[in-house]
């Protein structure tokens, strides 16, 4: 969690992206739905991991891979929670 907060402070993010992070964090720590939790944890781990497919330091495209990894599993997670 500390690494996530540091990364969010370091860069300004779109409000929708922050809401995505909050949703993934909530799913990651829920008691039920282990598969959804594991998917959310994987997406959050990729985001905070300093080793990326596209380096975060290559602006403005450095976060394209992070955005993709964070938003792609959301529809699947939502369908699992229903």
Residues 43/69, Cβ–Cβ less than 8 Å: yes
pLDDT, one tens digit per residue, over 15-35 is 677 788 888 888 888 877 788
Q: What is the mean pLDDT of the chain?
A: 76
pLDDT the model gives residue 82: 44
37, 25 in Cβ contact below 8 A?
no
| Cα–Cα distance, 8 to 20 (Å, whole number) | 13
**Spatial distance between the Cα atoms of 61 and 54, rounded to a whole number of angstroms:** 8
What global pTM score does this model have?
Answer: 0.65
Of residues 55, 63, 71, 68, the one with CA closest to residue 11: 63
Structure tokens at 42: 């994987």
Least confident of 8-22, 23-37, 68-82: 8-22
Strands (E) across the chain are located at none
């Amino acid at each position: 969690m500390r690494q996530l907060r540091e990364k969010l402070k370091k860069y300004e993010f779109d409000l929708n992206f922050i809401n995505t992070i909050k949703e993934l964090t909530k799913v990651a720590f829920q008691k039920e739905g282990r598969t959804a939790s594991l998917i959310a944890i994987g997406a959050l781990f990729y985001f905070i991991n300093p080793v990326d497919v596209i380096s975060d330091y290559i602006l403005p495209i450095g976060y394209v891979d992070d955005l993709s990894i964070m938003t792609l599993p959301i529809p699947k997670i939502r369908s699992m929670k229903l």
